[in-house]
Structure 1
Amino acid sequence: MSDDAHTPAAPRSAPAAPRSAPAAPRRAGTYRTFYSEPLTVASAQGCTITDTSGIDFLDAYNNVPVLGHSHPAIADAVHAQLLRANTHTRYLDDVVDAYSRDLLALLPQHIESVVYTCSGSEANDLALQVAAYSSMSEGVIVARRAYHGTTSATAAISPSLSPAPRDHVVTVDIPDADDPDFGRLLAGRVRRAAAELERRGHGTSAFVLDSTMTSEGIIAGEHVRLALAVDAVHDAGGFYIADEVQAGFFRTGTWWGYESLGVAPDLVTFGKPMGGGMPVAAVAGPRVVFSDFGGQQRYFNTFAGTPAPIAAAHTVLNALRDGGFGERVPEAGQRLGDGLSDALAEAGVDGRVRRAGLMVGVDLQPAAGDAARAGAWAGELVEAMYARRVLVSRTGPGDAVVKIRPPLVITDEEIDRLIEAFRGALEDVGSAYA
Structure 2
Amino acid sequence: MSRPIPRSSATPPAPGPSPTGALRLSDGLLERRNRAFGAGAALFYETPLHIVRGEGAWLFDVDGRRYVDMYNNVPCVGHGNPRVAEAIGRQQGTLNVHSRYLHEDIIRLAERVAGLHGDFAQSVIFSCSGTEANEIALRMARMATGRRGILCTDATYHGNTELVGAMSGLPAGSERSPGFRSFPFPQTFRTPEPGLSGAALTEAYLVGLDRAMDALEASGDGIAALIVCSILANEGLPDLPPGFMGRAAERVRARGGLIIADEVQSGYGRTGQWWGYQVTGFTPDIVVTGKPMGNGVPLAATTASRALVETFRSRTRYFNTFASSPLQAAAGHAVLDEIESRDLLANAGRVGAFLKAELKARVGRWPGVADARGCGLFLGVEMVGPDGAPDLAAARAVCNGLKDRGFLTSNAGAFNNVVKIRPPLVFSQADAEAFLPAFDATLDTLHGAG
Q: TM above 0.5, one fold?
A: yes
- Match in the other structure for 2:10: 10
Q: Of 14, 27, 32, which aligns to 2:42? A: 32
Alpha-carbon shift at residue 17 of structure 1 (Å): 6.8
* CA deviation after TM superposition for structure 1 residue 335, in Å: 1.2
TM-score, normalised with respect to structure 1:
0.91
**Which residue number in structure 2 is paired with residue 234 of structure 1?**
253
Residue pair 1:385, 1:392 contacting (<8 A) in 2 also? yes
CA distance 1:369–1:268, change in 2 (3 Å): same
Would you say the 8 A contact 1:249–1:255 is kept in 2? yes
Change (3 A) 1:160 1:322: farther
The match for 1:414 is: 431
Question: How do residues 325-344 of structure 1 correspond to structure 2 at under 5 angstroms?
Answer: 325-344=344-363
Q: 1:41 to 1:17 in 2, by over 3 A?
A: closer
Question: How far apart are 1:422 and its partner, in Å?
Answer: 1.2
Partner of 2:63: 53
Task: Find the residue that maps to 1:141 and give its secondary structure.
Answer: strand
Unaligned runs of 5+ in 1: 20-25
- SS of equivalent to 1:304: coil
Q: Which residue of 2 aligns with 1:167?
A: 178
What CA deviation, in whole Å up to 9, does each residue of 1:288-329 have, x standing for no partner?
Answer: 111122112211101012111221111111221232233221
- Sort the Cα spacing of 1:224 and 1:334 in 2 relative to 1 into closer, same or farther, 3 A: farther
Q: Deviations over 1:206-230 (max 9, x none)?
A: 1110111011111246825412111
Partner of 1:67: 77
> Counterparts of 2:296 and 2:2 in 1: how far apart (Å)?
19
Q: Measure the CA separation in 2 of the matches of 1:234 and 1:289.
A: 15
Task: For residues 244-286 of structure 1, give each alpha carbon's deviation from its aligned partner in whole angstroms, at most 9, with x where no partner exists.
Answer: 0000001001000001122111100000111111100000001
Equivalent residues in 2 for 1:310-329, closer than 5 Å: 310-329=329-348
> How do 1:122-141 residues align onto structure 2 when only pairs under 5 Å count?
122-141=132-151
Counterpart for residue 87 of structure 1 = 97
Aligned to 2:379, the other structure's residue is in SS state strand
Deviation at 1:9, TM superposition (A): 7.0
Is the alpha carbon distance of 1:255 and 1:13 closer, same or farther for their aligned partners in structure 2, counting shifts above 3 Å?
closer
Q: 1:367 to 1:236 in 2, by over 3 A?
A: farther
Q: 1:183–1:227: 8 Å Cα contact kept in structure 2?
A: no
Deviation per CA, 1:377-424, whole angstroms, max 9, x where unpaired?
Answer: 111111111111110001113211110000111111110122221111
Q: Which residue of 1 aligns with 2:232?
A: 213
Q: 2:400 aligns with which of 363, 376, 383?
A: 383
Task: Specify whether residues 234 and 15 from structure 1 end up closer, same or farther in structure 2 by C-alpha distance, changes over 3 A only.
Answer: same
Aligned residue number for residue 113 of structure 2: 103
1:180 aligns with 2:191: no
For 2:25, the equivalent position in structure 1 comes to none
TM-fit CA distance, 1:167: 2.4
Measure, in 1, the Cα distance between the counterparts of 2:95 and 2:170. Answer: 40
CA drift of 1:342 comes to: 2.9
Task: For 1:391 and 1:157, locate their aligned partners in 2 and report how far apart those are by CA, in whole Å.
Answer: 28
Letter in 1 for 2:176: P
Structure 1 ranges of 4+ moved more than 6 A: 6-9
Q: Which amino acid aligns with 1:3?
A: R
Q: SS where residue 90 of structure 1 aligns?
A: coil
2:5 touches 2:428 (CA, 8 Å); kept in 1? no
Deviation at residue 160 of structure 1 after TM alignment: 7.3
- Percent identical: 32
Matched-pair contact (CA < 8 Å) for 2:149–2:221? yes
Q: Which of the numbers 263, 267, 276 marks the counterpart of 2:286?
A: 267
Within the candidate set 260, 264, 274, 1:245 is matched to 264
Distance 2:175 2:18 in 1: 38
Where 2:152 maps in the other structure, the secondary structure is strand
Query: Are the equivalent residues in 2 in contact too, given 1:351–1:366 (CA < 8 A)?
Result: no
In 2, Cα distance between the equivalents of 1:7 and 1:92?
42
Are the aligned partners of 1:145 and 1:216 in contact in 2 as well (CA < 8 Å)?
yes
1:242, distance to aligned residue in structure 2 (A): 0.1
* Matched ranges for 1:183-198 at <5 A: 183-198=202-217
* Aligned residues of 2:175 and 2:181 also touching (Cα < 8 A): no
Q: CA deviation at 1:70?
A: 0.3
Corresponding position: 1:427 with 2:444: yes
For 1:85 and 1:319, locate their aligned partners in 2 and report how far apart those are by CA, in whole Å. Answer: 23
- Taking a change above 3 Å as real, the CA distance of residues 118 and 99 of structure 1, as seen in their structure-2 partners, is same
Structure 2 CA distance for partners of 1:428 and 1:350, relative to 1, 3 Å: closer
Aligned counterparts of 2:304 and 2:379: Cα–Cα separation in 1: 29
Distance 1:341 1:261, change over 3 A: closer
Number of residues of Structure 1 aligned to a counterpart in Structure 2: 424
Matches of 2:71 and 2:242, distance apart in 1: 26
Cα gap change, 1:36 to 1:146, in 2 (>3 Å): same
Alpha-carbon distance in 2 for matches of 1:414, 1:244: 25
Is the 8 Å Cα contact of residues 147 and 160 (structure 1) preserved in structure 2? no
Structure 2 counterpart SS, 1:158: coil
- TM value normalised by structure 2: 0.88
- Residues 95 and 17 of structure 1: CA distance in aligned 2, closer, same or farther (over 3 Å): closer
Unaligned runs of 5+ in 2: 20-32, 190-196
Secondary structure (helix, strand or coil) at the match of 1:145 reads coil
Secondary structure of 1:226's counterpart equals helix
Describe the SS at the equivalent of 1:333: helix
Alpha-carbon distance, 1:2 to partner: 2.9
